[in-house]
Structures are given as structure tokens and as C-alpha cells.
Structure 1
Amino acid sequence: MRMSKIKFGLIGSGWRAEFYIRIAKALPERFELTGVLIRSREKGEAFARKFGVNVVQSLDELMKGEPDFVVLSVKRGIVTDYLIDIFKKRIPVLCETPPGETVEALEELWEQANQYNARIQIAEQYFVQPLYAAWLKVIRDGKLGEVSNINLSSLHGYHGVSIIRKFLDAGYENCMIYGKRFSFEVTETYGREGMDLDGKIFSCTRDRLTLEFDHGKVAFFDFSDPAQYHSFIRTRQLTVQGVRGEIDDLTVRYLTSDNVPVTQELNRIDLGKYNNQEWSHNGIMLGEEFVYRNPFANARLNDDEIAVSTCLDRMGEYLATGTDFYSLKEALQDTYISLMMDTALKNPNQEVRTSTRIWAK
């Protein structure tokens, strides 16, 4: 049974850490933020005034609030040291950031986690975002038959790898990676602060990579950084092909049991549009069937906040039942493949092969 109300402490003060504050305030009946750890007293005092939260300067102080677990949301370069300290103190942790910058760091973290029997999950949110969760449901319902390939143009690095491995059911298969980085000009349209109408043009990289897995499945990875996350003129694209159908972004084509071809559109159901007085995301339908229902249906959360809320909720279930939702092992594999993709980009069109690491043996 999941605990009735989840209490968590937060380590970090960046853009992503703010998600957890908004979620706790939007869903007070589900989540309670007990405190925020910011080492700098001056920065912490300003943060406390801005967000109306309790700020402390040490991990021991943070634990006085008796959280069920801590959320670690700090820069990638310092996350490993933080995690090992948390492991040693036997504190359950939901880690927001990929846990290392080198293969050696990933392996060291795996060994430390095992040594201290760490209770850890990673807040990889995209597979529980509404649209990605709907796509995954279509695949797992078998509408496409055995899936053979995916073209993903929406997510960078380890986020993209996570979706690729889940949608292809690739497990810990090794793969051959090759590709190239390009650069193109694009006009700025918006960023984290909102719309940008200045018409500024900047150079944007575009990474094109092929991942050939040992079991024969193939992923085509395509990402433009930073335009694809923040642009009105660069958007996401996804194609997943199986022996009996395909997903083509919001269109799903498949065969019935009688081999009759069917074409349907994913239909997003939102409240609060066109004179409706509420505002919230309700779910996504394919024909008459819901392929995704928002577990926080009445809360005013965007898609990424819904996904992060889901990670918090599943962390509670993990502590209550021991059931992983996105384990350290999964995160290490996704981060490792992402690092190998970086290696391939540094060696254009040369094949780079992954190998089985200690967490996958």
C-alpha cells in the first residue's frame, strides 16, 4: 500500500527543483515538502522569501523534518558525491539528475549503491508524461505487433535513450552507434521565460544517430539543441513501426484481428478551454478508449509537472512495496548509452559499440 501522504525533502534550488515546490503547493493532500537544502545561507534566505518554504543548510537539518525520502536536484557534476553521502546515511533518495559524467563514475556509483544497500529511484519523467505514456500504452497493448524500429526527434541524450529502450523493449542489449552532428541557423521564438519576438537568429546543433541493437531492432535518433525544447517552429516527431502497425506522431495505424486496416488519432482531453471554467488535463483517448488518464486530474499542472508528480507518487509506492519504477540500473544504462552517443558524435560516421557493464550482468 502506498503511504497516504508523501513527505519529502528537497536538495537543490535550480529550475528543475522549483517543479517540486509547485507540485507540493498544487497537491497539498498528496505531497508535503518538509524543507529545502541550500548550502549558502544568503541564497537560502532569498529562496525562502521567494517561494515561502523552509530552507536549511545541511542534510542533518533537512532530516529533522522527518521526510520519507529526499529529492536530489543538483548539477550533474556534483550529483555522485551527494548520492554517496546520502547512501552512507541510509536515506532513501529520488535523484533528479543523471548520476554521473563518465562510465567510471557510473560504475563507482553502482558499487557504492550495492555496498550500502541504497534505496534509490531516478526521476526520469518522460515515459510517464501524458503523450509518451499514451504512446507506450498503444505499444504494450499490442496494436503494432512486434515493434522493430523507432524514429525519435524530441528528447536529448539519456531522456531519448530511455524512451528508445522502453518503446523497443531493448532491455540491456548492446548496440552499434554511428552518426554525425550538424549545425543550422534558426530564429529564437521562446525560452524558459516565455515568448521571444526579437527575431534573433542563432546557430543550433542537430544530432542524427543510428542505434542498431543486437536483437535487430533499430532506433533513429534526431535532436536539435536547444531549439527543440523551446520553439514554436521546431517541434517533436515520433514514428514507431511494428509488424502490424505504426505510430506516426498523433496518428495510429494498425490491423484488427481480421487484418482490417484502421487509422485513428490520439485525442487529448483538457478541461478549461473554450469557456469551460476549470483548467486541467484529463487524459488521452484513441477512439473510444482512454490510453492515458491523468492521476492528478483536477490539479493545474502542465505535462512535465504531471510526470514529476507521478515520479513522486511512485517513489512512495517504491518505499512501501519495493517495486522499482525507474531504477538506478535503468538510469545507469540510459546514461551509459548517452555517453557512447556523445563519443559517436565526436567521431562522425564511425561505429561505436557498447559493451555489457557491471550493472547489467
Structure 2
Amino acid sequence: MKAKFIVIGYGWRADFYYRIARMLPEQFEICAGVLRTAERAEEVSEKEGLFATCDLEEALAKKPDFAVLCVPRTIVKEYLVRLMELQVPVLCETPPGKDSAELNELWAEAQRLNGRVQVVEQYFLQPYYAGALEVIKKGFLGEVSEVMLSALHGYHAVSMYRKFLNIGYENCTIQGQKFISDVTATNGRKGFDYSGKVVKMDRDWAAMSFENGKTAFLDFGGEQYFSTIRTRRWNIRGVRGEINDSTVRFLNRENMPVQQDFRRMDIGINNNSEWAHKGIMFLDEEVYANPFYPARLNDDEIAVASCLCGMQEYVMTGKDFYPLKEALQDTYLSFEMERAIESGETVRTETQSWAK
């Protein structure tokens, strides 16, 4: 069954939904775009070839299954409350609030209005992370107690920490620090840069110690998402093994050490097939299968499309895939992590309203 939705807002992230709807028209349909002004709506309508308006009620008259919310953090709560009042299911793209107080206010409103909200935290649905989570689920590492990510920032990193470590709503102590270094610009949201210009890069370091003894470490530089000369690194440690980048080291049933890499299967390399990601193999098993193969989506598009499928199932059955409660916890911890990084002081988290 095709998912039919409206997109509120327009920009770099909203463009993912427009691209996915174009590439997977049999699964997804944007029935309306909602913009700030009539002039902007006219521009988007002409560019995307679909109905766009500055009137939310006019967009809702198209009878969407749900709304995708892609607006700045400063106004996301306002939109969420309005949509919950209208009893519209919402897939919220941005963090659901600008500070901890607003997160708690939003939870109270969601409880009062019985809001139906899921949040686009897509990284656990990207092929690599989904494959790593499956390896952990199968028990190759034993109980996982320590994670280091040098790949994601803020709430994205916290979400993966909690999933890798199987953390619920435990509190933690956070230490952090910020460093500044020079790096040559190579690539970004606006495309490749061959000028050779040198830019300042923030490098954030943080250590999170949870009440159950598990730990998470952040080492992130702002250029890492796009840079062609700054790599992404992962280390996920369990009692019987670890994942280091794409290499898994573990003990087998006879306690003999085994080393095996993830093998990514991309179709169309060195042959004349159309390029598409197929899945990830580990040992003799496929630990991740791209649900949209053979569509030509990049890893983040695959993950966002998976969020749309999860939202459609949520609307139909009530089954969560990343509910507001989880998003509030990840966002709250990311705020506290940012506070530790900016201040250099030790921060201790406290149980929030959604976790009581």
C-alpha cells in the first residue's frame, strides 16, 4: 500500500523526501508541500511538479496518511502541537525541541493530546549500522559495554550509543571538551570544493558513563559527514569480541579467535548492471538486506525511506519504530553532552518526565 503524505518545510533535509518519492513512486506519494509563503509555495510547486501551499488546512484536505515535519528546531514544538491538536500523525525530521524545558513541555502536550508522533532518527536504519546491530543481536560480541563513534554528532550519536549498548533511560555522567583545528575543505552540502581553502573545524570529545557501568565515547569533527580526507571510525566492544570499523573479531564456541570483515554488496561495480546497494554479508549470512533494491538510493536515502515505511506501519498498526519518547531521551542526552563539551565541566543527567 502506497504511503501518502505531506511535507511541511523545504530545504536540504526535506529534499530527501522529494527525491525518495520520485525514485520510489510505487511506494511513496507527496500529495502536498507546505511552505511559509505563497511565493515560496509557487516556487516549490513548479520545481517539484506537485501541489504546494502556505495553508496547512488546504494541504490536509488532500487526506494524507501523515505529515512529515521539516522545520527549524526553534519552531518544531509549535508545529507539533498544532498537528497533534488536529489529530494528524507526524513524522518529525528535526530534534523535537530547542532545550530540555521545551522537551518536557512537548511530552506533556503529547500526553494531553494523545499525539501520534514518530521521529526521523535514521542512522540505525543505514546499512552499516543495521548490519552491526544484527551482528550484536546474534550474540557474536556477547554483552556490549563500550562504544566509540567518530562518525556522528549530537542526538544521532546518542541514539546509536543507546542502541549498541541496549541502554534504556539510565542516567549518566558526561565529561567533554572542544578543540579547534585546521582542515582543507573538500566537500559539503553545496558540493565539492577544489579551491584548497583551509577552514576551522570543531572537534568535540565526550565520555558518557552510564549508571549500569556501560560507557560511550564521542570523537567528532564537523567535517566528517562530507570530507574526503577525514574518515569515519567505529569501535563497539563486547565481552566476547568487538567491531572495529568493518572488521569483527570474536571468539567462536570453542573460544578460538575469529576475524571477519563485513562484505558490502553493491551491484553495478565493474559491470553493466545499474548501480544499487544490495546488502551486507558477514560470514555466510546476509546481516542486512536493502528493502528497496534495486532502487538507486544512497545509504541515507535508504534509511529515510525505511523511516517512511516505519511511519506507514505505525499509522496502520500503532507499532513504533522510533517514538517521541525515545527521541526526547536521545535529544536530552545530546543537549547535556553539548553542555559538557562547551563548558568543560562534568555534567550529570537527571530522569526526565517521559522516563518516569
Q: TM-score, normalised by structure 1?
A: 0.97
- Deviation track 1:44-91 (CA, whole Å, cap 9, x = no partner) reads 111111121210111101111111000001111110000000011010
- Deviation track 1:194-239 (CA, whole Å, cap 9, x = no partner) reads 22111010110100100000000000111101x1111001121000
The question of 1:360 aligning with 2:318 is answered no
The question of 1:351 aligning with 2:351 is answered no
Aligned runs of 1:3-18 on 2, under 5 Å? 4-18=1-15
Q: SS of the counterpart of 1:221?
A: strand
Q: SS of the counterpart of 1:298?
A: coil
**Following TM superposition, by how much is the alpha carbon of 1:276 offset from its aligned partner in structure 2, in angstroms?**
2.6
**Following TM superposition, by how much is the alpha carbon of 1:14 offset from its aligned partner in structure 2, in angstroms?**
0.9
Indicate the residue corresponding to 2:301 in structure 1. 305
Tell me the C-alpha RMSD between the 2 structures.
0.8
Indicate the residue corresponding to 2:278 in structure 1. 282
Q: 2:42, 2:53 within 8 Å by CA — same for their partners in 1?
A: no
CA distance in 2, matches of 1:79, 1:46: 23
Matching residue within 240, 243, 247 for 2:243: 247
Indicate the residue corresponding to 1:318 in structure 2. 314
CA distance in 1, matches of 2:92, 2:46: 25
Alignment gaps of 5+ in structure 2: none
Indicate the residue corresponding to 1:152 in structure 2. 149
- Deviation track 1:242-288 (CA, whole Å, cap 9, x = no partner) reads 00000000000111111111100011101121123211110011121
Indicate the residue corresponding to 1:29 in structure 2. 26
Matching residue within 101, 125, 132 for 2:122: 125
Identity %: 53
**Following TM superposition, by how much is the alpha carbon of 1:118 offset from its aligned partner in structure 2, in angstroms?**
0.6
Paired residues in the alignment total: 356
Indicate the residue corresponding to 1:266 in structure 2. 262
CA distance in 1, matches of 2:91, 2:325: 14
CA distance in 1, matches of 2:355, 2:180: 35
Q: SS of the counterpart of 1:60?
A: helix
The question of 1:197 aligning with 2:203 is answered no
- Deviation track 1:161-195 (CA, whole Å, cap 9, x = no partner) reads 00001101111110000020000000001112322
The question of 1:217 aligning with 2:214 is answered yes
Q: SS of the counterpart of 1:183?
A: strand
Alignment gaps of 5+ in structure 1: none
Amino acid in the other structure paired with 1:335: T
Amino acid in the other structure paired with 1:273: I
Q: 2:148, 2:216 within 8 Å by CA — same for their partners in 1?
A: yes
Indicate the residue corresponding to 1:168 in structure 2. 165
